[in-house]
Amino acid sequence: MEKQKKTNDDVLEPPINFSMVEDGIFRSGFPQPANFPFLRSLNLRSIIYLCPEPYPEENLEFLRSQNIQLLQFGIEGKTDPAILIPNDTILEALKILIDVRNHPVLIHCKRGKHRTGCLVGCLRKFQNWCLSSVFEEYQRFAGVKSRPTDLRFIEAFDMMRLRQCLYSIIYQYQGYGSNKRRLVYRDENLQKPQTMKV
């Protein structure tokens, strides 16, 4: 009996709708305490949380214990088509997502379907995926709850804003003959994510 209990404790249970997006980028629904051992195995550096609700204290304690940075972008969950996804918020989340200094990173919302699907869909557009493949991936996770408004948002999202931001990053060398580089953003007037000290 003791041996069987130990075997069950060794099973790593991923959060709902968990998947690898790219090397160092993962997506899922909201992690539960039973998922913490699995998340520990990913050696996460950051979590991009796309809901406006406060992060539960139990989850915050886990993040603190693992030295994981929480970056919250409060996007309202919506079923009303009149409520639009904020372009600037997705743009800021994308800037965090493509910065390898934040990897390995987990993106999640409540179920890992709509808000997460929109962010991943915009990432895929940035990666020059064809729109039909972007939509297919979104629908694979959203299932019957797929929202036409989300698909329209992804289709209409202006990638040039992200590309212009990336083009504005310049490398400045510190002193003569130094090979040390640092990234400097010229575009600092956009909304910043809510970073929580954990």
Which residue in the block uniquely carries the two structure tokens 């390898």?
A: 100
Amino acid symbol at 146: S
State the DSSP string of 138-196: HHHHHGGG--HHHHHHHHH--HHHHHHHHHT-EEEESSTT---EEEE-S---SPPPEEE
In the annotation, is 118 catalytic? no
Calpha distance 15→20 (Å, rounded):
12
Amino acid symbol at 188: E
Q: Which two tokens stand for residue 129?
A: 């995926």
Provide the pairing of β-strand 25-28 with 105-108: parallel
Which residue in the block uniquely carries the two structure tokens 């919302």?
A: 109
Calpha distance 140→186 (Å, rounded):
37
The SS3 call for residue 47 is: strand
- Side-chain-side CA neighbours of 58 within 13 Å: the count stands at 7
Q: Which of 109, 118, 122, 165 is catalytic?
A: 109
Catalytic annotation, residues: 109
